[in-house]
Amino acid sequence: MSVKLPTNPPDAPVEKPVKGKFDPFHPEMPQIPGIHRGSSELPSEVPRAAPSEREPSVVNPRRVIQAGGIAVAVLLIGVVIFWWGGRRHGKGEAVLSDSEVPEAAVPAPALPKLNLGPQAGSNVVATVDELSKPWATKKFTFVKPVTQENIPAMAMRLPGGELWAFSLQGPFGRCDLEYVSDLEKLASQYRYNASHPMVVSPCDRAVYDPLKVGSLGGNTWARGEIVQGSGLRPPISIEVIVSGRSIIADNIE
């Protein structure tokens, strides 16, 4: 059994697609700029708009403000970093010159050479061998050449090798001084905790340190600074010199 499909008669009119209605069998060609409908050839060159016909670029004010804010922030950060670095450098130098660097020992001022002509003399104090060891001492008598006054005195060898001689009479003649090497005696009787021998005054309980120098006023210094008590000045100094193997008292204040 065969089925015969109906066909349109030859003279039947062909339906044309309605404009605007999608026809799956007759789709419209896409509109391409520069290509005319019905032409199968592509143009060799697509015409470009003239520079004057281009649309001007639109500046976004918000982006401009954001860019300006970022630039200002970067500048401020740079200024803060520069300021902070300079401040730390300055502090580093202040902390390095005050706390980290050990303070250099200040040398004791050089004692001026005594030059009191009328009171000069030649008094043999001791030999070099007698005062060869640190804290070795020897008493002697200094005789003033003009008045022939006898002054009890003492010479000692300091730990640094220097010789020091001084009058055992107090600076104002009120009390004779003593040399004390017993540290327990210094602590108990004079209430002074010493680490080396000292010269003391039994009358006013003053303690004089042979390793320190004290001021006599102005630019004058003398050995035996007062470290405790009510003394007015260091002991009266006597200048000594070494001649051969002898130690000679040459001058006095």
Break the chain into its structural domains and give their ranges.
112-169+236-253, 172-232
Rounded distance between C-alpha atoms, residue 86 and residue 160, angstroms = 46
Which region holds residue 205: left if phi is over 0, alpha if psi is between -120 and 50, else beta?
left
- Confidence label for 116 from pLDDT (cuts 50, 70 and 90): very low
Count CB-CB contacts under 10 A for residue 127.
14
238, pLDDT greater than 90 = yes
CA distances from 118 to 114, 148, 150 (A): 12, 11, 15
Instruction: Output the six-digit token pair for 244.
Output: 């051969």
pLDDT at residue 115 greater than cutoff 80: no
Q: Would you place residue 230 in the very low, low, confident or very high pLDDT band (cuts 50, 70, 90)?
A: confident
Q: Determine phi and psi for 141, rounding to 5 degrees.
A: -120, 125
Q: What pLDDT does 117 receive?
A: 42
Which pair of tokens denotes residue 79? 């200024």
Residue of 217 and 221 predicted with greater confidence? 221
Are 244 and 124 spatial neighbours (Cβ–Cβ below 8 Å)? no
Greatest mean pLDDT among 8-12, 26-30, 154-158 lies in 154-158
Asked which of 95-104, 187-196, 199-208, 215-224 is least confident by mean pLDDT, the reply is 95-104
